Amino acid sequence: AQAAAKNAAAMKIQAAQRGKEARQKAAASRTEAPKPKRAPAKKAPAEKGPAEGKDDMGRDIKRLEAARRGRKPASQKDASSSSEDDAVDLGGCPSSKKEKEFERELKKVKKQMRSKLTPEQHEELHNPWMHTQMSDSERKMKKEMFASFYREQYAALKQRAQPDMDQYSPQAAEGLKITTGHRHMPRPKRVDVPADFRKPVGTITSKDLQGYSAGNERKFVCIHGDLFDVSDRPDKYGTDGPYAYMTGHDLTWGFIRGDDAEEEMDKYYDIFKVQPKEKADRKLQGLMSWWAFFEKEYGEPVGRLDVYDKEWGLPPPPAADLEDGCSVM
């Protein structure tokens, strides 16, 4: 009887164990089995309309309108204008150029020079005080900004830079009074220059400058206070040259005004006081393009005219005399 009871108890334990194992397997199979994915609901097909900026046939609306009007699309205009900005016409004085050409060239000058300025120079250049009274450092910086730009451009030219008289309108040319000048004059093959040719002379007075006139061995012209030794061009600045009456004089006002008459020489004004500021930039740019041209033709300045050492003390230019023009020397 005891043996039978033990067997019955053992069988009961085994049955319970098998039931537990079966339940564990069933639970594991439910966990591992992947859940069936639901198929995404199908959306009703939407009616296709023209894309933004396109017509019913998929064509660009702006391009079509531009083609009808005979104009380039904006994207093509941008591409062409960027290439135009990189080209600088150095055929003549900026003062004689059309407004659009001048603005494009002036923009390129400023963009190129800003990249070379120090933070301190940037601050000075954009100082509001600059619009009223400029310091000597600001004046020099702005002058050098234009001069260095044209200096680089002239140096890059393969051919000799020459003024192009064909670009001038009859109105702009009215101020050019020299009948035998304003044209290309090849350099003489041989010139006997003085022994002190291009040697520095320091700072001199207006009276001293007259001692370097056409009849003298050394010949000077002055552009915005800088003296250029033109002794190697007696064909131009000698007694028989078309520019003889200019030799030994300051030519700045003639460049600014666009009038090469003798009575416009040796007139001293503070060109930084020209108003509005945009006009001052334009006049200064035209002046410095020729300053750089003279430097290329005749070397670095050999001295200074004392009047310009305190240019800020000079009177402002007469507004009535500041019509657009360019005097070709």
d(CA 220, CA 95): 24
**Token pair for 285:** 């740019």
Domains of the chain: 94-321 (3.10.120.10)
pLDDT, greater one: 18 or 163: 18
**Token pair for 232:** 């190697």
d(CA 139, CA 117): 14
- Residue 288 CB partners (closer than 8 Å, separation 6+): 143, 146, 147, 150, 224
Q: CB atoms < 10 A from the CB of 317, how many?
A: 22
pLDDT for the residue 157: 74
**Chain segment 63-87, per-residue pLDDT in tens:** 656 555 544 444 444 433 333 343 3
Answer whether residue 4 shows pLDDT above 80: no
DSSP state of 293: H
Answer whether residue 150 shows pLDDT above 60: yes
**Chain segment 185-202, per-residue pLDDT in tens:** 888 889 999 999 999 999
Rg (CA), the chain: 41
Nearest to 223 by CA among 263, 282, 271, 185: 271
Answer whether residue 216 shows pLDDT above 80: yes
d(CA 250, CA 244): 13
With cut-offs at 50, 70 and 90, classify the pLDDT of residue 176: low
d(CA 236, CA 158): 24
Share above pLDDT 90 across residues of the chain, in percent, rounded to a whole number: 32
d(CA 296, CA 292): 6
pTM higher than the cut 0.85: no
pLDDT for the residue 16: 74
Q: How many residues does the chain have?
A: 329
